[in-house]
């Protein structure tokens, strides 16, 4: 069913839900899903509504037009998206294939409602797997002595494809701050630890040295600060003293795949609202 998704964040006060609901009822808007959250610490209110597109007498632009006065009245940060307009996604990966293969399978089976425009990699190892799915593969090597030309090309490719979202599916390079800022809130990463623990490289080795009993994975938005962006989704798996680093890597890969796919799906369905460095996720 085609729906319009209305997502709102604003300072909390009485009457927000009533005003929005009355507006939609005025135009016979049929709400199929409604989610609200009031954050007592920040004093902000968050809301996500899905409205049947065929119940309204106008398109998404029409909904934006009639809703704008309410948004101004309440000082809202807001957006309206159309479920019929599939988001364009660029995937990036290095040599590890498990997260990329999982996303490609979910896309191929229709589980992810998006358009994967290409895969960009700093290695050529995964080309055949990607091209089997009929998706363009771009090999952009990164010279450790001068990374600027590579990331200039990455930026060109992403802009050329008019990407709505970039997914780092175990892409083992740090994106430049300029790209993070240009695509703020639209670059999703999977980090193979339960952040904020074990930031940076070799987190499974860090976890083994620390002797933890749980390892996890974190899907988060990318910022210029390493592994410190707003967290979208996390999960863990239990380990014991019997598990070595190789066991932890094997167990962790399953968690990484699930966490990344869930986080990406929440983003594609406009279920994530970023406020400061935290998220509200209407899962």
12 a catalytic residue: no
**Among 116, 129, 156, 128, residue whose Cα is nearest residue 140:** 156
3-state secondary structure of 23: helix
Largest Cα separation within the chain, whole Å, is 63
β-strand pairing of 44-52 with 114-121: unpaired
Residue with tokens 């300029």: 178
Return the structure tokens found at 246: 């190789």
- Please say whether the beta carbons of 55 and 77 come within 8 A: no
d(CA 271, CA 131): 30
- Please say whether the beta carbons of 5 and 48 come within 8 A: yes
φ, ψ dihedrals at 53, nearest 5°? -60, -35
Q: Which of 164, 227, 243, 270 does the annotation list as catalytic?
A: 227
- Please say whether the beta carbons of 121 and 138 come within 8 A: yes
Q: What is the number of alpha carbons within 13 Å of residue 54 lying toward its C-beta?
A: 2
Enzyme catalytic residues: 227
């Amino acid at each position: 069913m085609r729906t319009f998704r209305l997502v709102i964040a604003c300072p909390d006060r009485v009457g927000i839900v009533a005003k929005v609901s009355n507006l939609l009822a005025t135009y016979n808007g049929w709400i199929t899903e409604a989610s609200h959250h009031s954050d007592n610490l920040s004093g902000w209110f968050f809301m996500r509504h899905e409205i049947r597109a065929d119940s309204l007498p106008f398109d998404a632009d029409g909904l934006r037009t009639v809703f704008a006065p309410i948004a101004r009245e309440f000082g809202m940060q807001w957006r309206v998206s159309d479920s019929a307009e599939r988001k364009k996604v660029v995937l990036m990966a290095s040599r590890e294939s498990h997260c990329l293969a999982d996303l490609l399978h979910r896309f191929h089976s229709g589980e992810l409602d998006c358009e994967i425009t290409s895969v960009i990699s700093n290695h050529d190892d995964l080309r055949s797997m990607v091209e089997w799915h009929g998706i363009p593969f771009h090999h952009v090597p990164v010279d450790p002595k001068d990374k600027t030309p590579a990331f200039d090309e990455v930026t060109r490719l992403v802009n050329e494809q008019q990407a709505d979202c970039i997914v780092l599916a175990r892409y083992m390079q740090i994106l430049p701050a300029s790209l993070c800022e240009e695509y703020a809130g639209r670059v999703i990463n999977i980090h193979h630890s339960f952040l904020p623990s074990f930031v940076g490289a070799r987190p499974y080795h860090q976890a083994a040295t620390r002797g933890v009993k749980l390892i996890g994975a974190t899907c988060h938005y990318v910022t210029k600060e390493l592994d410190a962006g707003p967290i979208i989704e996390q999960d863990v798996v239990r380990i014991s003293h019997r598990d070595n680093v190789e066991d932890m890597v094997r167990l962790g890969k399953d968690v990484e795949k699930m966490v990344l796919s869930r986080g990406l799906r929440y983003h594609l369905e406009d279920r994530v609202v970023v406020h400061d460095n935290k998220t509200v996720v209407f899962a």
